[in-house]
Structure formats: C-alpha cells, structure tokens
Chain A
Amino acid sequence: MTDYFNEMYNSGKVREPYLRLEDWRRAMPAELRQMKQAEAEALFRRIGITFAVYGEGGDPDRLIPFDMFPRVFTQNEWRKLEKGIKQRARALNAFLLDVYSRGEIVKAGKIPAKLVYQNEAFERAVTGFTPPRGIYSHIVGIDLVRTGPDDFFVLEDNCRTPSGVSYMLENREIMMRMFPNLFRENRIEPVDGYADALRRTLASVAPAKCDRQPTIGILTPGHFNSAYYEHSFLADLMGVELVEGADLFVEGGFVWMRTTEGPKKLDVIYRRIDDSFLDPLCFRPDSMLGIPGLMDAYRSGGVTICSAPGAGVADDKAVYTFVPEMVRFYLGEEPILQNVPTWQCAKTDDCKYVLEHLGELVVKEVHGSGGYGMLVGPKSTKEQIALFRAKIEENPENYIAQPTLALSTTPTFVEEGIAPRHVDLRPYCLVGEKVELVPGGLTRVALTEGSLVVNSSQGGGVKDTWVLAE
C-alpha cells in the first residue's frame, strides 16, 4: 500500500485540502456514520437513482454504492486540471473537424491514415458535412487518474455520450442535505450550474435552418436502459423533452416529435444512443431503434445531433495515443495533461513487449468500455493471463496495453472505519459557443480492497468531489 499516493494522509500528515475533514471524521462515532449511510441509501432509493447492472440478474434497481467520504481538490490543483481538460476537449474537436474534411493531420503524417479512416467508429456518412460551429463532441468526459501530488494522467477520452454526470449532481445534493455543516466549514465550489451550462451549450449549436429559440430533446434508448434515470434527470433539470426513437419522425427535412397536439419540430437532439442506432436507413437496416431519415435531416441542416455522428473516432483507445500530438498540431501548445504510456499490440515490437510483460500490464480491448474485457496483470491468475495471451495472439490489433498505474487512494468508509481505496475522476467538459467545465466531476472508487477497477459495472462506488474555493 505504501507505494500509492494517498490524497489525504501523506508522510504522516494530513494534506491541506483535507484538514477539516480530519476533524469531521474524528467527531463522527460509528453509529452516526451507519445511520447517515442508511439515510443516504434511503434517499437514493426514494429519489429513484438506480443503475441496472447487466448480466447479473437479481434486483434490477440496484444502487451504485455511495461513499460519504468526499474527495477534495484545492483551487490550484483544479485550475491546472481545468486548463488541461479544456485544452484536450478543444484538440479532440479540432481533430474531428479535420478528419471529416481535409484530413490535414493525416497528410502531415502525424497519425496513420488506416487508424482513422478504417476505424469502425469513422462514419463515412458525415464526411464533408460541417456541423454547427464545427463542433462534434459537445460533452467530453475525460477520465483522469492521479499517481502523485502533481501527476495526473488521462486514462481515456469519452467523446460520444459520457454518462455519470447525474451522480456528480445528486451526490452533492445528498451530501449537502446530510452534512450541511461541512459546507459551512469548507468553502466548496458549487456544481449545480451544470444543467444550465449544458442547455446553453446545446442551444448554441442550433441547426442552420432553425430561426427561433431551438427546441431541445434528449434521445434515450428507453426506460430499460441502465442510464435511463440520468436521461430523465437531465431532461428535467434542463426543462427539455425526453424522447425515444418512436416519438420522432422525419418529414420535409425536419425532425418532428409526436405530441398530443400534433407534430412539433425538434431542433437539437442530445442523443444518448450509439451512432448505429440513430438512423436505420443510414446505419443498420435491422435496427428497431432509431429514426428513418434522421441523417438526411442532419446533413441538410434541419437538426443538430449532439454529439455528432462519427465523434467516436476521437475516443478510440488506439487513437488515444495521438491526442498529445493533436494538441501540438491544432493548438500549437504543449499538452498540459499527460497520456498514460501505451503499447499498441498492432505494432509488432509493442506486441512482443506486451506478451512478455503481461503480468505487469493492464490490457484493454481497443473498442471496449465499462471495464469489460480487460486484464489487470498484477491482479490476475495464471489462467486469466494465459487466456488473454491467446486472445492477443489471435487478434493483436484489438488490444492495447498500459503499465499498471499506482492509482492514488482517498479515505473511504469501510466496515472497520476508514481505509484507503483507489479512485479516478471524470470531469464533464462542455463544448459549444464556449468551452465550459463545472468545478467538480464524478469520482469513482474501487470499493474492494486493493482493486484498481472503479467501473460501476464492476462493483465500483462513487463519491462527492469537491473543489475548494480560494
């Protein structure tokens, strides 16, 4: 445990942002803590914040475990992160605009053409079309890990539809309700401006043909989706419609909602479904989801889709390696946030190294997400490693590998009191007329002792994330 950076206790001292939390923790008897924990759980259940976990059966209304011990950043720490995140979000968007038009970065030899144009996430259907303001990814979720006081690494980018922001907002609500004193003693930057900022962002990318206040809707796969609560929550906070594919149809180059008063035009769609389910005419003829003709309406400026179809090519795990290069190429700046060194099994030398060091590395599928299909070398059995070896040898291009990072820990409530548990951070950067970032994000915590996998689908929990005001 000693090699991990503990964000609260360091070299026998309490680090500055956590000073007041130390008193709070000491003053809290075990019974009170248990009572508060039960109260928090009851609140979550009552509000209905639940998350379905696939393939497990059991209670479909599972709660993501909420840890009451907050994770804290100082204003200085945050400023640096904020700059780095915004920089990265701008570079990713510049990259998308470029690869769907002139492809300068490819021509300049900074990234292999094959990686871009033969990428599964590259949408031929949108080449040559420039979305409003040239923005493809309007909500960029950047997953960060920390290994030391000043060492932050980007683990991956999420340019399509990063989820979890409702937890950021609700965790804060619940903490404020349960521990108002904490918020009196610590000056904590608010995060509740997120919904307004998101609405502004979406409104700022209204389509060319929209000549009035745009009507905005969130497109959800439906109430069986594990993130349905979030879709409905955001629609409610923004005061916009929550629609499913079957609620929409295309006519005369516009998208219409089926309402009790007849068709109503929809201008901006914040979609929470994958590209391939947007339009069966364009992507998947077998799809029951999606709106026939949507892509035509999109390409003719009748509707804006956020994030833009095709945005996924920027957050691919193989393209990830080139993001620092994008920052230099498009912005002429040095990247503020570092990438984790990554070996691409597609390259013979890299692959050789990976196969020789499987026991030390984290191996991920290029297109995988949610913590599925990955190998954490140091935490795996010989059989698991052998299985992955076979998989990599069979299809090397499908895998990348990274060193097992010494993820930082923060104190987390456990049965016996508190204990360090590994955490990551996902802030949500908004890109529209302005590039905005609310001071906070979602801290995910691996609740199992020693575990490095924080995904909620793999038993991770969440924490409230504080940025202290100056």
Chain B
Amino acid sequence: MLSRTAENLFWIARYVERAETMARLLEVGARIALIPSAGHGYRSEWESLLQASGTSEGFAEKYGDPVQRNIESYLFFDRDNPSSVISCIERARENARIVRTALTAQVWDALNVAFQEIRQLERKPRSSLELTDLADWVNRTGAMVRGAIDTTLLRNDGYDFLNLGFALERADNTARLIDVKYYVLLPSVDFVGTGLDNYQWQTLLRAMSAQRAFHWAYGGEITAAKIAHFLILNRESPRALITAIQTAMEHLDGLAHKYHKSGPAQMRARSLVGELAETRVEDIFEEGLHEFLTRFIRDVGELTDMVHTAYLSGDAR
C-alpha cells in the first residue's frame, strides 16, 4: 500500500480517538464543576484540564480566563483549536476522502455522516446543546466508525494501520487523562486516601465509561491503587495503557507477518509490553504517578516515530 495511504488511515483513527478524548475531558470538567468546593461556590479545574489536553495556551490567547461556556466552545466547536472535536472530525473525514479507495462504503459513510452532523450541530444555538448530549454524540460517532471498520474492512495492512492509529492515540490520551488526576485531582498529597480523593478517581473512571467495568473487575472499596492498576496494568480493561500498547504490538506483528519483515518498531512495542507486564502498582506510586506517565507518553511518542519511519514516511526500502 502507498505510504501516504497508510499515513491517511493511521490519522483517521488518531483523529477519531482524539475527538473522543476531548469529549471525555469535557465531561470530567463539567462533572467536577458540579461539586461544591470547600468554603463556598463550586470547584473549577478547567485550567488544569486545558493543561492536560495541551490546549491551555491556545485557549488563553483567544479567551483569557477559563469560563466553562468558552471552554466548551473551544474544545468542541473551535476550528482554531486543532484538537477540538470539530477539527478532529473534519480532519478524519478529509483523510478518509483522500483514501476513499482504501475504505468500505460503510466506513466512509460513518465518517461522512459524522461530518454532516457536526456541521448541523454547529449551527444550532449553543444554549440548546447539553454538554452530555454532545459527549454522547462523539462516543456514538466513534462507535459507528469502529463498528464499520470491524465489520466491513478487509483484514489487510490498511486494517493494521487504522488500529495502530487507534491504539497509539489511545495510549497517549489515556495517559494524559490519568495525568489530569495528577494536576487536578491530586493537588496535594494530603488528600490521598480521603473521601474527596476517591470521588475524584471515580469521576475519572466515569469519564472513561469504565465505572461499571471497574466494579465488575475489582469490587469492594475504591482505592487509588486499584484504579491505577485498572487503568494502567489490567489487560482486561479496554482503555488500560497495557491493553493499548498490546494492541499496537499485535498490529505491528500483523504488518511484520504480512510484509515478511520485522524492524525496530516491533522490538520497541514488545519491550514496552514486557515492561508494563512486570510493573506493579507499588512501583508506579514509588516512581511517582506523574513521572511514570511522563515517561510512558515519551515512550509512546518514540514508538510512533518508529512506525512513521518504517511505514509512513515513504522512505522504506
């Protein structure tokens, strides 16, 4: 397959995944804003959320103070924000338009319909749009795209590139979402283990649509250790970092198998999975959650670069 086609497929998946992350972040923020803060009024952690999503500077430049209404617009509808939901959906669709020939009608349809719908949403008065409805719409759109890919696409190299995009973007995004916990949910070590702390962890689980799953998997008391284990190290958890990296590895192996050629990307993915498999929750807290996640995000970035060099750059020989 053309390297450029592979790159387009890879980015379709990344943009769809990223749109979902943005929607999840908005949900976390909106939910936190409903919690009374100590003293008076409500908690606002929008600033920290913007930082975690890497959009803080762009927002400050355009709007100044973080006001919820503006943040909603910025993260959802603003084309000046390259990570906003609308930017992601439009780019995913544009990438799909470029590689129409590598997609089934169903996959194209899912992306094209999403594009038409978000343009209609955009035209509605903001006050008539509930944030939860918007977030639901994004999740539903993501499900449609994934469903169409899984049920209609040939299991060829293109399928691997799409899934690599999903997996690597998810690994990166989930790590950033957990990192919000560092910025927002853990402003001071004193809170660890308190009731407030646990409530915030639950908010995070909810944002990942993983609250129920967590209870099925662990039961009993919610503790920081259990949640960190669930989101980072549990292979049963669909959003866990290890699951995402494992998926990336499987699709890299799929490519190696199809092309009869393995390289540094495969080796790196394998060693990352191996490392995570041997990590215990205690190790993570010992290293520091934030430090661990920062290292992980960097590792994922390097793996992504390797995928780019091996397949997407067009320099393969």
Contacts and interface: CB of A to CB of B under 8 A. Distances in A.
Asked if chains A and B come from one complex, the reply is: yes
A258 B3 contact: yes
A228 B97 CA distance: 9
Interface in A167-207: none
Interface string A226-237: 001000110110
A247 B116 contact: no
Interface residues of A, number: 22
A48 B108 contact: yes
Contact of B3 (A48, A235, A242, A260): A260
A258 B259 contact: no
Contact of A257 (B2, B255, B311, B312): B2
A258 B4 contact: yes
Interface string B79-101: 00000000000000010011011
Interface string B279-317: 000000000000000000000000000000001101111
A48 B108 CA distance: 9
B311 A260 contact: yes
A223 B101 contact: no
B6 interface: yes
B98 A223 contact: yes
B157 interface: yes
Nearest to A237: B101
Contacts of B255: 260
A48 B97 contact: yes
Given A258-B314, A261-B259, A247 B2 contact: yes
A446 to B, nearest CB: 29
A306 B15 CA distance: 36
B112 A232 contact: no
A78 to B, nearest CB: 32
Nearest to B161: A260
A94 interface: no
B116 A259 contact: no
A263 B97 contact: no
Interface string B99-123: 0110000001100110010000000
Interface in A232-265: 232-233, 235-236, 241-244, 246-247, 257-263
Contact of A242 (B101, B112, B161, B312): B101
A277 to B, nearest CB: 18
A261 B113 CA distance: 33
A223 B4 contact: no
Contact of A223 (B97, B112, B157, B315): B97
B1 interface: yes
Nearest to A239: B101
A196 to B, nearest CB: 17
Given A223-B97, A262-B317, A45 B3 contact: no
- Point out which of A228, A233, A258 has the most chain B C-beta atoms below 10 A from its C-beta: A258
Interface in B15-42: none
B1 A259 contact: yes
A279 B6 CA distance: 25
B100 A241 contact: no
Given A46-B109, A48-B108, A261-B316, A247 B100 contact: no
Interface in A253-294: 257-263
Nearest to A261: B259
A259 B97 contact: no
Contact of A235 (B1, B101, B113): B101
Given A45-B116, A46-B112, A48-B108, A258 B2 contact: yes
Interface string A135-146: 000000000000
Contacts of A263: 317
B4 A244 contact: yes
Contacts of B108: 48
Contact of B316 (A228, A235, A236, A258): A258
A223 B2 contact: no
B316 A259 contact: yes
B4 A247 contact: yes
Contacts of B3: 247, 258-260
A260 B1 contact: yes
A452 to B, nearest CB: 34
Interface string B237-259: 00000000000000000010001
Contacts of A260: 1-3, 6, 157, 161, 255, 259, 311-312, 316
A257 B4 CA distance: 10
A259 B100 CA distance: 17
A48 B100 contact: yes
A245 to B, nearest CB: 11
Nearest to A238: B101
Interface in A332-359: none
Q: Which of B98, B311, B312 has the largest number of chain A CB atoms within 10 A?
A: B98
Contacts of A235: 101
Nearest to B160: A260
A261 B101 CA distance: 19
Nearest to B316: A262
Contacts of A261: 1, 259, 261, 316
Given A241-B2, A258-B314, A223 B259 contact: no
Contacts of A243: 2
Contacts of A246: 4, 314
Contacts of B101: 232, 235-236, 242
Contacts of A244: 4
A261 B97 CA distance: 23
B101 to A, nearest CB: 4
Interface in A423-441: none
A65 B113 CA distance: 21
A375 B69 CA distance: 54
A228 B4 CA distance: 16
Nearest to A233: B100
Contacts of A48: 97, 100, 108, 112
Given A236-B100, A263-B317, 4 more contacts: A242-B101, A258-B315, A260-B1, A261-B1
The 5 nearest A-B residue pairs measured at CB: A258-B314, A236-B101, A260-B311, A223-B98, A232-B100
29 contacts: A45-B116, A46-B109, A46-B112, A46-B113, A48-B108, A223-B97, A228-B97, A232-B97, A232-B101, A233-B100, A236-B100, A236-B101, A243-B2, A246-B314, A247-B3, A247-B314, A257-B2, A258-B4, A259-B1, A259-B2, A259-B3, A259-B316, A260-B1, A260-B6, A260-B316, A261-B1, A261-B259, A261-B316, A263-B317
